[in-house]
Amino acid sequence: MKKNSHPIFHHPVVPLVPGRMTAAEYLDACRELSFQARSLGIAFDIWQKALRDDTTIFLGLSGAMTPAGLRKVVAYLLENRLVDVLVTTGANVFHDIHETVGKKHFQIHPNTDDKLLRKHYLDRIYDVLGEETEYGKHDALIARTAASLPKRPYSTREWFHEFGKVLDSMKEEDGIVTAALKAGVPIYAPALGDSSYGIAMASRKESQEFLLHPVKDVRETALIAAEAPRTGIVFIGGGTPKNFTQQTEVTAEYMGFKMQGHKYCIQITTDSPQWGGLSGCTFEESTSWGKIHFEAEKIAVYSDATIALPLLVCGLAEIQAHRFRPSIPRFTFGEELKITRERTRKPVPAR
């Protein structure tokens, strides 16, 4: 095999040179490295391509990103329309209430005595804690809001739009829910009952008749995918947000639309595929289900999301990636969701 002629020798690893550089410069340099650094650099590149290509981008958010300190990172993505739809666990948007009204989560050692914490109603999430007495106040707010709404079944998107208005009226600073409200980004939490929202609604008498309609979530997100020129997905972790978002392409196809699968795909995860769980499922495997485009640009970054996501978002912020978009979806909120597409100003040329 001749080194000068065979394609396998055409792209050498370029060693990283320490020195002052921006996050965007670092991510570009990662493309020339190996292992998960290269995957992170590829993710940065794919996200930019999705923004330039008339793509409706879904963000799937699992884990405990809000108490871990990534709440404003997610809010930035919503405010600047670097994503268009948020599919999340209920936990992330419950803890968002806590900080939106001015409360804090606190660092703690993960080996702290949990029996002692329980005696003082302090809830631990690995090395972070929150005060359960304060969480109880948020439960009461959720229940009052649910009880105040007209009696009919609601999608979770409708719920967060209405709840966002209440939260916005009492906020100390914007967070995920209020940022989504102002940016016109729909929030879906398909397993909302598996969170303090479900606990609050079920355990308090005034809100026990409030009804969520999960099929409305399925139908709406499928229509968002169907009406998009193409779709992209960014997953933080896996779980319900991942599968729920991936299945939009399949659901839309069953509804009669011609679909080809998600075109731009990024996942940041610490799960691996050999255990058969959805969180570790590769995009290659998802292709067999019709969820991923045959020619998709896709990458899995095997990393702690609290490390990888802020780097990616800082890089996108530095290059003002929101200006790359030729168009964005606009949503009119009501009992039914209406979708249009708005052309933006002339997009910034590729770097």
Residue 33 three-state SS: coil
> Terminus-to-terminus CA distance in the chain, angstroms?
35
pLDDT in tens, 101-115: 999 999 999 999 999
User: In whole angstroms, what is the distance from residue 229 CA to residue 54 CA?
Assistant: 6
Catalytic residues: 291
pLDDT band per the 50, 70, 90 thresholds, residue 279: confident
Whole-angstrom Cα Rg for the chain: 21
pTM here is 0.96
For residue 168, give the 3-state DSSP assignment: helix
Closest CA to 49 of 285, 293, 256: 293
* Strand, helix or coil for residue 59: strand
How much of the chain, in percent, has pLDDT values that exceed 90?
91
Place of tokens 């399925």: 218
Residues 6+ apart with CB under 8 A from 211: 151, 152, 153, 154
- CATH top-level class for 18-343? alpha beta
The rounded distance, in Å, linking the Cα atoms of 245 and 267 is: 12
pLDDT class of 8 with cuts at 50, 70, 90 = confident
Q: pLDDT tens for residues 186-243? A: 999 999 999 999 999 999 888 888 999 999 999 999 999 999 999 999 999 999 999 9
Phi, psi of 280, deg, nearest 5: -95, -5
The answer to whether residue 350 scores a pLDDT higher than 90 is no
Look at residue 10 in the predicted model and tell me its pLDDT.
Answer: 83
Tokens matching residue 38: 């290269």
